[in-house]
Amino acid sequence: MTLFSRKSLLILGGVVLVGGGAVGYVLHGNPSDQPITLFEGHNPKIVDPQPEKIPSLGLVKSIGWGAGEAPKPAQGLTVTRFAEGLAHPRTMLTLPNGDVLVSLTGAPKEAAGGGFMGWAAKIVMGMVGAGEPSANQIVLLRDAKGAGKADQRFTLLQAGLDSPSGLAVGNGKLYVANHNAVLAYDFTPGQTAITTAPKKLMDLPAGGNHWMRNLLLSPDGKKLYVAIGSASNIGEGGPQAEQGRAAIYEINTDTGSHRQYAAGLRNPNGLGWNPSTGEMWVTVNERDQLGPDLVPDYLTNVPVGAHYGWPWFYWGKTEDNRVYDKTPQYQMPEFLIDYVRKPEYGLGPHVAALGMTFATGGGRLGAAYANGAFIARHGSWNRKPAVGYDVVFVGFDANGTPVGKPQPVLTGFLNGEGQTHGRPTWVSFAQDGALLVSDDTAGIIWRVIAPGAAPAPAPKAIVAPPIPPQRDLNSDPERRLRLQMREMQQMRQN
């Protein structure tokens, strides 16, 4: 054997050993022995980071549901199939007349960005049942018989759609968010087809690792909010790749003018108005490759101008030093360390919290679900053991604040054998008060209800008295001293 051959074999052997080790690490992963409940609620446990050069995988293969099979509802609830045979149903919107709009959608071709994580995501999504081309349709489901099942189905819209997700209705319009633009179509509830051309309200940054774009219309219909996820995990593609991303934008529905409403949100998804406070709330998917127990996805209110830290910080002021190591040109704004806002409520790391809807009155799931938010946790792909793959309820108190831990509403998607029947994606209330849940990889819309339950009352809006105007510029200590001096003078006079 020649010296060259020996060197070649040694090099090849080294490559095989290194490659085999990497594959072994990826397949074995970095498992957690901690219960997911430790990382949920108001004060989730924030553990020390375990940075991963290569993401560990915890793939769960989607196998679908057999005839007669269904998820497991919480005690007192039942679950049935509202619709099935749909091509990757994701977002839903219930119209005032009871029709239900569903986006049949998937990732666009442009979603391959983000370096190694983007490549890995494509491989992973194909393995878990989410790699098919986007159907690019919005279908209308109608329960004409009132039997709790869609007996009519129409393709409402297809032309001009490109990975559509966000849906909103108001002002005589159907607003649709493609991955790269927000469109407005003339629309009246009751229509079963849209044939008119849309008006473009706003261009959006296309594709990226997080391509879904959710929409929320303000109660007065004057503003439309669009949630835009990041193109990467922690900005490894540089600041230009993240321009206009990881943020929520506010659009004027009349003029199309827009501004950034909030930022530092790695992948914002479900949007809704808190019925008690009138605040905007959102679910957010946090970053990867810091170990199985970091970082908690979260549910939070979103004041205008808020910044939640991505990519430099997570869960308040916990710094992610990887950003500087990977992209030293991605400099943090000087003000941010004093300004970054901590989320309100942890939903657990890697659970992939997507759709969210508030109980606003009329729901028929029982008194225990009358005040709070329902959240679809789509499920992890890079954690062992797998987490999410369920629908949970986060209760709120009379002040419009989340309390306790997430309570299971719909479970049983995982079968305990490294497989899942489906992946809950979005939630919306049907007109009859049932909760609808889209299951994208299974192609099913589930209907959850408590038989015999009366419609729940709406949570009471908080009406606080206005703060009285300040009549002088005295600080509190000065004011107390003044009052003391006045009391002393009165005592002397008496």
Span 141-160, pLDDT tens digits: 999 999 999 999 999 999 99
Given this model, what pLDDT does residue 334 score?
A: 83
Q: End-to-end CA distance of the chain, in Å? A: 116
- Planar angle of CA 249, 253, 255, nearest 5 degrees: 100
Tens digit of each residue's pLDDT (9 = 90 or more) over 168-207:
999 999 999 999 999 999 999 999 999 999 999 999 999 9
**Residue 30's pLDDT band (cuts 50, 70, 90):** confident
Classify 452 in phi/psi space as left (phi over 0), alpha (psi -120 to 50) or beta: left
Given this model, what pLDDT does residue 333 score?
A: 86
Please compute Rg for the chain using Cα positions.
25
Tell me if 179 sits within 8 A of 161, measured CB to CB.
no
Distance CA 238, CA 327 (A): 6
- Backbone φ, ψ for residue 488 (5° rounding): -65, -40
Q: Is the Cα torsion angle 41, 42, 45, 51 positive or negative in sign?
A: positive
Percent pLDDT > 90 in the chain is 78
Given this model, what pLDDT does residue 463 score?
A: 84
Pairing of strands 419-420, 61-62: parallel
Given this model, what pLDDT does residue 204 score?
A: 98
- The string of DSSP letters for 344-395 reads SEEEEET--EEEEEE--S---S-GGGSSEEEEEE---SS-SS----EEEEEE
Tell me if 186 sits within 8 A of 193, measured CB to CB.
no
Given this model, what pLDDT does residue 318 score?
A: 96
Q: Residue 254 pLDDT > 80, yes or no?
A: yes
Q: Residue 31 pLDDT > 70, yes or no?
A: yes
Tell me if 311 sits within 8 A of 329, measured CB to CB.
no
Given this model, what pLDDT does residue 487 score?
A: 72
* DSSP SS3 for 127: helix
Given this model, what pLDDT does residue 200 score?
A: 98
Tens digit of each residue's pLDDT (9 = 90 or more) over 283-315:
999 999 999 999 999 999 999 999 999 999 999
Given this model, what pLDDT does residue 475 score?
A: 57
Q: Which two tokens stand for residue 127?
A: 């393995």
Average pLDDT over residues 412-429: 97
Average pLDDT over residues 344-349: 98
DSSP code of 75?
T
Residue 128 makes CB contacts below 8 A (sequence gap 6+) with 59, 60, 61, 62, 381, 420, 423, 441
Q: Which two tokens stand for residue 318?
A: 């916990």
Distance CA 102, CA 427 (A): 11
**Residue 429's pLDDT band (cuts 50, 70, 90):** very high
- Residue ranges of alpha helices (H) inside 51-150 are 115-127
58-461, superfamily in CATH? TolB, C-terminal domain (2.120.10.30)
Tell me if 163 sits within 8 A of 134, measured CB to CB.
yes
Percent pLDDT > 70 in the chain is 85
Given this model, what pLDDT does residue 11 score?
A: 36
Given this model, what pLDDT does residue 21 score?
A: 47
